[in-house]
Structure 1
Amino acid sequence: MNLSSEPIRFDHVRGLALVTAREVAATGIDVLIVRDLLGRITLLIDDREQAPDEDSLLAWGESLKQALGPYVSGQGIALGSTLFQATALFDSSRVLNEITYVPTASQGNIRWLENTVVGEDWTRVSEVPEPSIERVPKVTLYGFKGGVGRSTATAVLARHLADSGKRVLVVDLDLESPGSGPLLLTMEETPQFGLVDQLVESALGNANGLDLVAPASHYTPTRGELWVAPARGRGIPGTPYSYVEKLNRIYTDSPTEDDTDFANRLAEAITACELAMTEAVGAPEVVLLDSRAGIHDIAAVAISRLCDVALLFGADNAHTWAGYSDLFTAWRDSGQAPTVRERLHMVASMVPDTPSRPKDSYLEEFRDHSWSCFSVLYDNEVTDGSSPLPNEAFNPSPEDDSAPHSPIPILFSLDLIGLDSIATPDWPSRGYIQTAYDEFLKTTTHLIFPEGSS
């Protein structure tokens, strides 16, 4: 029961709901905590094997109502036997175990089901498949905030890998604000259709024959290939290109196919771009995903479910660490930290090197702040029986250069401000670019291709 005079807020709800859920689980009954789109809680009791008595149900319902106030649903407590297709809820792949609760042999389980509009894929992390000849490594470049040089870094890395002899495909996933596409393609050389077209047309089974990829403009790699799948296309001649109207529809689940949630359709769109490049010049050997910034479904899917390597861009400021702390805490609380953490690598973008703030001291401060932020994803080496043993724990020290929190630097250059890639197509080969990106290119190439990195 909530005895405080303070109002109940969203952040209180999880802990308060767990109090009643533990009362249910103590009787040996499994309980699923369901949070709806408004944040309201229903305790769904699994009575398929054991049914609670009426008095207990009334007591739990009253306890939940008193504790949660406006955050209790109209039902509050619901029995699975009273719901249509309750098994689909209990057995949903979206259900997560409550990691703060470890039941004894006589107690029931407590699990969570979050119903959200966006961001759900942050807590649905997929295992990265084992390397194989067929597996094309995918690299997501992401920044919690925009303006950190992510798209420029994507273009520079793409050209570097192509010049080293690789067949590179860049997919511009920043659909609301296309980034790497305009950096690598002129409008005249842009394919007729973009990723947004593939997402719209595929929802209706109408994506065959789309022109999705093109070779980078104004640039021929010395050894490899560099192709681009832009966010928006050039359009059909004589027909208005309704980009905004398409954006309004791409996140809608398809009514005509199985497994057509947005995450699956985005993965299929990237595969379609790979196949289009394969038909033109051969299969890509690496795919760079230029993700949009912020807590958004595109970024969630790109990092949590599609990539082998995730490069997280940021500057050393409070906004960066507060944002990443929120994301990392969500992974920890959903039990996904062990799956996702080792694919993450922090990029220190726009690193200064001035007399007042030398590069080395800046990176040292960055590393310490980064380690504090990443530590929520690391294991506690003090085991309590349920945590990993010390020799099995993943808990790199702040000084560990190979750890996810260790910054990969990109130096700041005034020449990059207001860069017009169309007017200066040779910009990646200029000296200031080589100096700024040298360590970034060496380190990321090794992460992508550990064997035979150049």
Structure 2
Amino acid sequence: MTTFDQILPIATEVLAAHHDTLAPLEWLIVNRDLNGRVRLIVPEQTREDEVQRAGIEAIYQALAERLAPHAYAASMGVLYEATQEDAQQGASSYPLNGFDRVWVVDRLTTEANWARIAPETTGVPRVVFFSIKGGVGRSTALAATAWHLAQEGKRVLVLDLDLESPGLSSALLPPDRQPAYGITDWLVEDLVNNGDAVFDSIVATSNLSHDGEIHVVPAHGAAHGEYIAKLGRVWMPKVQADGSREIWSARLGRLLHALEARIQPDVVLIDSRSGIDEIASACITDLGANLILLFSLEGEQTWNGYRMLFEQWQHAHVAEQIRERLRVVGAIVPELDRITYLEGLRESAYGVFADTLYDEIAPANPAAIGPTASGDGKWRVDDLVEGWNFDEADEGAPHHPWAVNWHRSFAGLRSLQGRLASIDGQEVQAVFGSLIGGVSDACDGRKAS
């Protein structure tokens, strides 16, 4: 019995065996529907060519026999469309390994699309704080980073996009400074063209701002109202007058652009939902993030999760579009044996990056390495295959963790507001120094370039 994970390997094998039949086609789509059943979609003109049509039907017959129950009856297994765009209908797609003109299209119940990577924004630096698992101190670290950047004189815009578990705003805003509305309110009102009614009341300035400013956009306002009912609608696409659909992440991007235009921040910090869901997908892949911080605890749950995500990017041929923006953060590094813990974390991170995102580097050709003819003591190295790769010990590598040390003073968001209001900068450095220094350098370096 064939299972879902065997669909693409079997499809690859069957299609490769019919290479000559596929050669005349401009494109072919392997379409997986919401139930995981497969059809083939080919150009409309193929239907008019009896030889080509018979060939495609024979391919699907062979495919269906091997894919059952993930296939339709042979008579229902081939569809015809005028263009590839018509066939995809906006669904995520990626090329099937080993084929130039064969694409896989997945029909999903959600619009989260980890395989579609938006280009880096060229404006204000956007930094996303993300974790596979919750409870790793991600939001606390973001609040401390915002505090530090404001101490440096920067204007910081903070978005609490952990919509299903909000709380960041309480660390940066006392109760009397909470705005009337939040991100959820704007997303719901925008569906009925009423976003402007709440836009001016979704941002508040933190009392922790000193030389700079911290502008906070919470998940919800001071009075959360029917938050659960609103939360169930934020993911909705907006249907325009012409019938076109604007997916929720595009609406979120429009809100972010409007906030940047109004506040003119020096940096944007985004607190993402943990896990692989709609919010995380939008934050990481759709908002043009320049730096994506991967908060990590040493353990199988962390690395299995990141491996699944990296393999998806690798599988969809988009890894090169995002890998240089990633950086591992060692979360809640224990007080005892910190060096040993961080070495283990770095080793695990390196293993996942090396298996999925780093390029394989071919060994040097021994015949091409030797002293130069001039006898100046220099050596030539020819025929080396260059790629994006790092040594395990390279401190500049994305797998090398920026440490956030555990400290009881920063163990919860509830007490963080008062803590940061009278904090000793040296204490912040002791706990978050590696992280905040890395973020600050990354933002300054990008601005300088």
TM-score, normalised via structure 1 length: 0.85
Match among 274, 283, 300 for residue 260 of structure 2: 274
Q: Is the 8 A contact 2:181 2:220 kept in 1?
A: yes
Task: State the match for 1:439 in structure 2.
Answer: 434
Show the 5 A alignment for 1:364-375: 364-375=343-354
CA distance in 2, matches of 1:442, 1:275: 27
Show the 5 A alignment for 1:29-428: 29=25, 30-48=27-45, 51=49, 52-73=51-72, 77-81=77-81, 87-89=85-87, 94-98=92-96, 100-103=97-100, 109-118=101-110, 120-129=112-121, 131=122, 135-210=123-198, 211-216=201-206, 218-221=207-210, 223-235=211-223, 241-256=225-240, 258=244, 260-276=246-262, 278=263, 283-306=264-287, 307-354=289-336, 358-375=337-354, 376-382=356-362, 390-418=384-412, 420-421=414-415, 424-426=418-420
Q: Is the 8 A contact 1:159 1:226 kept in 2?
A: yes
Shift of 1:25: 4.5
Shift of 1:168: 0.3
Task: State the match for 1:4 in structure 2.
Answer: none
Shift of 1:123: 0.6
Structure 1 347/61 Cα, relative in aligned 2: closer, same or farther at 3 Å? Answer: same
Deviates more, 1:12-21 or 1:324-333: 12-21
CA distance in 2, matches of 1:213, 1:199: 14
CA distance in 1, matches of 2:16, 2:44: 16
CA distance in 1, matches of 2:166, 2:428: 22
Q: Is the 8 A contact 1:179 1:290 kept in 2?
A: no
Q: Is the 8 A contact 2:147 2:209 kept in 1?
A: no
Shift of 1:72: 1.2
CA distance in 2, matches of 1:438, 1:425: 17
CA distance in 1, matches of 2:285, 2:14: 32
Q: Is the 8 A contact 2:349 2:400 kept in 1?
A: yes
Q: Is the 8 A contact 2:358 2:388 kept in 1?
A: yes
CA distance in 2, matches of 1:241, 1:91: 37
Identity of aligned residues (%): 30
Alignment gaps of 5+ in structure 2: 364-382
SS of the equivalent of 1:404 reads coil
Cα deviation, 1:26-85, whole Å, max 9, x if unaligned, reads 32123111111122111112353684445434422321221111211456532425x8x7
Q: Is the 8 A contact 2:303 2:349 kept in 1?
A: yes
CA distance in 2, matches of 1:390, 1:113: 37
Cα deviation, 1:343-365, whole Å, max 9, x if unaligned, reads 000000111231xxx21221111
Q: Which amino acid aligns with 2:360?
A: N
Q: Is the 8 A contact 1:80 1:86 kept in 2?
A: no
SS of the equivalent of 1:181 reads helix
Q: Which amino acid aligns with 2:78?
A: A
- Alignment of 1:26 with 2:12, yes or no, is no
Q: Is the 8 A contact 2:208 2:421 kept in 1?
A: no
Q: Which amino acid aligns with 1:438?
A: G
Alignment gaps of 5+ in structure 1: 1-6, 104-108, 384-388
Q: Is the 8 A contact 2:64 2:71 kept in 1?
A: yes
Task: State the match for 2:374 in structure 1.
Answer: none
Task: State the match for 1:386 in structure 2.
Answer: none
Q: Is the 8 A contact 1:119 1:300 kept in 2?
A: no
Q: Is the 8 A contact 1:214 1:229 kept in 2?
A: yes
CA distance in 1, matches of 2:331, 2:427: 15
Q: Is the 8 A contact 1:22 1:110 kept in 2?
A: no
Show the 5 A alignment for 1:2-21: 7-21=1-15
Shift of 1:432: 4.4
Q: Is the 8 A contact 1:381 1:393 kept in 2?
A: yes
CA distance in 2, matches of 1:424, 1:87: 54
CA distance in 1, matches of 2:111, 2:350: 24
CA distance in 2, matches of 1:178, 1:24: 53
Q: Is the 8 A contact 1:411 1:437 kept in 2?
A: yes
Shift of 1:416: 2.8
How many residue pairs end up in the alignment? 416
TM-score, normalised via structure 2 length: 0.86
Shift of 1:197: 0.8
SS of the equivalent of 1:140 reads strand
Shift of 1:119: 6.4
Shift of 1:317: 0.6
Shift of 1:438: 1.4
SS of the equivalent of 1:402 reads coil
Shift of 1:259: 5.1
Q: Is the 8 A contact 1:192 1:212 kept in 2?
A: yes
CA distance in 2, matches of 1:59, 1:225: 66
Cα deviation, 1:241-300, whole Å, max 9, x if unaligned, reads 111000011111112264511120111122233344x2xxxx111110000100012111
Cα deviation, 1:415-441, whole Å, max 9, x if unaligned, reads 333453377343672464431111211
CA distance in 1, matches of 2:170, 2:413: 12
Structure 1 207/418 Cα, relative in aligned 2: closer, same or farther at 3 Å? Answer: closer
Structure 1 263/426 Cα, relative in aligned 2: closer, same or farther at 3 Å? Answer: closer
Q: Which amino acid aligns with 1:139?
A: V
Structure 1 12/451 Cα, relative in aligned 2: closer, same or farther at 3 Å? Answer: closer
